[in-house]
Structure formats: structure tokens, C-alpha cells
């Protein structure tokens, strides 16, 4: 039977001195997915990533890689681009890329071959003998991306991969990520850029205060946070439209495109169906489109984190009193 999940974390706990970085976190990362690992600063994302990379070990719980406990052998199947990334400034680009590729278990010949292909693809072959200190930040970022993917990892962990890139290079890297996804690479994508999450991810986990607060396929999460609002784009009289709202709808937002064209956002006040509203306005207005307004990841993030913080804040407040 084919294994569905590349990573399964079960009730993982990690403590640092008097601080709990992860508290019984359970995450399943489907094979071949682009998995968004989200959360506010200090939520525990980097700790979780470090546990997968075996930079540190969990105090409790376990992390399985293809259903097997993580071992040193798995290191070469993982590529990791941390948010705070750097290179040895005094070393030459090629020499350094070779070193990092070999550290990932590649042979010298294999590393040279793959690196040459990547350098060629990014059109940076002439940087091979340059010293890293002579490169710009964007150039160094490209090298860092290459050394992360050069050993063809099955799991790629990208922590804020677009930081430091201009829009052109951001697009280049985005395309490479999607290309790698097509080839079957599983990608863990940690970012605060919610737009790129919507564009790239198909699953997400939101961690807050060391615990998982939201998890699942992105569409399901969006549904879960859907506010039951609809956007209606019509041509006609606004008074006619407002009169029809008596069927049990509330006008949330009105956008006047022209004197006779509007885009409005409405929400049912009870259990009413959108069909009832449409039936009432269809005789006086020409409807161009109707669609359910799904929640944006940005709003989901803020709402979920706020909800998760509420009871704790309340408890804190009671304790203080």
C-alpha cells in the first residue's frame, strides 16, 4: 500500500528551559503536497522545522518519515532553506556549493553535475569562481536556493523563501517550487505572506502559542472560516435591490462601478437561501455574477489566532484580578 504521508508528527513536545516551544503538536503532511506551516512569530514553527531536520530532538512524541522514526539517513532526503540563511563569505561560490552538496551525501561527481545544471538553468555559471562576499543579497539567495534543492530532496522545507528577492526573482523561484511539486517533491512552506500561501499551498497548519489551532486542506479551512457571505454583481437600480433585501438579507458592502452597475456583498440574517434573494431581484436587475465569498487566508490567520488567544487572555485576566 502506498504511503500517504511523508511526515507524521504525533503529540510532539519540545521544551527549552522554562519555555514550551511545542505542546503536543500533531501534524500529517501528505506526500506530494505543498504544506503551509503558518503562525505568528514565536509560535513554534522553526522549532518544528528543526525537529524534522534533526537539528534538535523532541522531548516527547515522535516524528515519522514515511512511517519510520527519523534517522540520520533521512537527512539527505530533506532540503532546508532557513529564513535566516547565509553562506561562508570568504569561500568561492562553486567551492561552497560543492561542499554543501557533499554534506547532503552527494558524491563529488554527482554534485558537480547537478550544480552545473542548476547554475546553467539560472544563468549564473560565471559566478562559480567568484567569492560570496562579492555577490549581492539576491545573488546569494539564488545560490542558497540551489544548494537546498541540488540533492533532489523528497521533502523540501522553505522558510520565507521569497524574502530578499525582487519580484522577477520571486516569480522565478515560485515557478521552480511549482516545478518541483510537479515532479512529486513535498514542500513545507513557512511564510507570513498569505497571498503566496493561497497561490501555492494545498494544505496548511496554523500553529499558535506552541499548539496547532487549524489544520487541513486549504479549501476546507477556507470553508470552515467562511462567513456565509455572497457577492452579487448586477446592472440596475439600487433601490430595487435594497427593497428585495426584506427577504432576510443584510447589506454588508456596496461598490458602485457606474451609476447603474453595482457589486454588493450580502449576508443572510437567518437560514435563508441566496436563491430567495435572486428570485426577488431578477425581475428588476440584470445579474452579471453571483458567488460565495470565501475567507481570505489573511483573515483566517488573524481570526484563528485571535480566537486561540481569547480564552488564555481571559484566564490571564482572571488570574491577575
Using CB under 8 A as the binding rule, whether residue 43 contacts another protein is answered as: no
Q: CA-based angle 215:183:178, to the nearest 5?
A: 60
The answer to whether 102 contacts another protein (rule: CB under 8 A) is: yes
The closest alpha carbon to 257, from 277, 281, 231, belongs to 231
CB of 169 to another protein, least distance (A): 19
Q: Which residue stretches of the chain are H helix?
A: 45-52, 93-103, 108-121, 137-149, 167-182, 194-200, 218-224, 238-243, 274-281, 297-320
Closer residue to another protein, CB minimum distance, 112 or 263: 112
User: Shortest approach of another protein to residue 102 CB, angstroms?
Assistant: 6
For residue 131, which of 183, 181, 96 has the smallest C-alpha distance? 96
- Binders in 59-98 for another protein, by CB under 8 A: 59, 72, 75-76, 78, 80-82, 84-91
Q: How far is the CB of 30 from another protein (least distance, A)?
A: 22
Lay out the site mask for another protein across 237-256 (x = CB under 8 A, - = otherwise).
--------------------
At 178, list the grid cell: 511549482
Q: Would you count residue 104 as binding another protein (CB under 8 A)?
A: yes
**Which residue number, 27 or 140, has a Cβ lying nearer to another protein?**
140
Chain centroid, CA 73 distance in Å: 27
- Rule CB under 8 A: say whether 12 interacts with another protein: no
Are 149 and 104 spatial neighbours (Cβ–Cβ below 8 Å)? Answer: no
Q: Where are the alpha helices (DSSP H) in 183-296?
A: 194-200, 218-224, 238-243, 274-281
Scan residues 122-181 and list those touching another protein (CB under 8 A): 144, 147-148
Phi, then psi, of 280 in degrees rounded to 5: -75, -30
- What's the chain's Rg over C-alpha atoms? 25
Tell whether residue 16 is a contact of another protein (CB under 8 A).
yes
Helices and strands counted in the chain (H then E): 10, 14
Q: Is 17 in the site for another protein (CB under 8 A)?
A: yes
Tell me: does residue 53 bind another protein (CB under 8 A).
yes
Using rule CB under 8 A, residue 51 touches another protein: no
Which residues are near another protein by CB under 8 A?
16-17, 50, 53-57, 59, 72, 75-76, 78, 80-82, 84-91, 99-100, 102-104, 108, 144, 147-148
Amino acid at each position: 500500500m502506498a504511503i500517504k504521508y511523508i511526515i507524521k508528527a504525533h503529540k510532539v513536545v519540545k521544551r527549552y528551559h522554562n519555555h514550551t516551544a511545542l505542546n503536543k503538536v500533531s501534524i500529517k503532511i501528505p506526500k506530494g503536497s505543498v504544506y503551509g506551516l503558518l503562525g505568528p512569530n514565536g509560535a513554534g514553527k522553526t522549532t518544528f522545522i528543526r525537529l524534522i531536520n534533526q537539528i534538535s530532538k523532541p522531548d516527547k512524541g515522535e516524528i515519522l518519515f514515511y512511517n519510520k522514526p527519523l534517522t540520520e539517513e533521512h537527512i539527505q532526503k530533506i532540503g532546508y532553506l532557513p529564513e535566516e540563511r547565509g553562506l561562508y563569505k570568504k569561500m568561492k561560490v562553486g567551492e561552497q556549493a560543492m561542499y554543501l552538496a557533499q554534506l547532503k551525501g552527494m558524491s563529488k561527481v554527482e554534485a558537480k553535475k547537478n550544480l552545473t545544471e542548476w547554475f546553467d538553468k539560472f544563468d549564473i555559471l560565471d559566478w562559480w569562481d567568484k567569492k560570496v562576499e562579492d555577490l549581492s543579497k539576491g545573488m546569494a539567495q539564488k545560490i542558497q536556493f540551489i544548494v537546498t534543492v541540488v540533492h533532489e530532496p523528497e521533502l523540501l522545507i522553505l522558510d520565507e523563501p521569497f524574502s530578499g528577492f525582487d519580484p522577477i526573482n520571486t516569480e522565478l523561484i515560485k515557478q521552480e517550487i511549482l516545478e518541483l511539486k510537479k515532479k512529486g517533491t513535498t514542500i513545507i512552506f513557512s511564510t507570513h505572506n498569505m497571498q503566496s500561501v493561497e497561490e501555492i499551498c494545498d494544505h496548511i497548519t496554523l500553529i499558535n502559542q506552541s499548539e496547532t489551532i487549524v489544520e487541513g486542506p486549504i479549501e476546507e479551512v477556507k470553508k470552515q472560516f467562511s462567513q456565509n457571505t455572497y457577492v452579487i454583481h448586477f446592472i440596475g437600480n439600487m433601490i430595487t435591490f435594497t427593497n428585495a433585501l426584506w427577504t432576510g438579507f443584510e447589506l454588508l458592502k456596496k461598490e458602485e462601478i457606474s451609476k447603474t452597475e453595482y457589486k454588493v456583498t450580502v449576508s443572510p440574517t437567518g437560514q435563508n437561501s441566496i436563491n430567495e434573494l435572486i428570485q426577488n431581484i431578477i425581475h428588476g436587475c440584470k445579474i452579471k455574477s453571483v458567488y460565495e465569498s470565501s475567507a481570505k487566508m489573511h483573515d483566517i490567520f488573524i481570526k484563528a489566532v485571535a480566537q486561540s488567544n481569547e480564552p488564555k487572555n481571559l484566564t490571564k485576566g482572571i488570574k491577575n484580578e
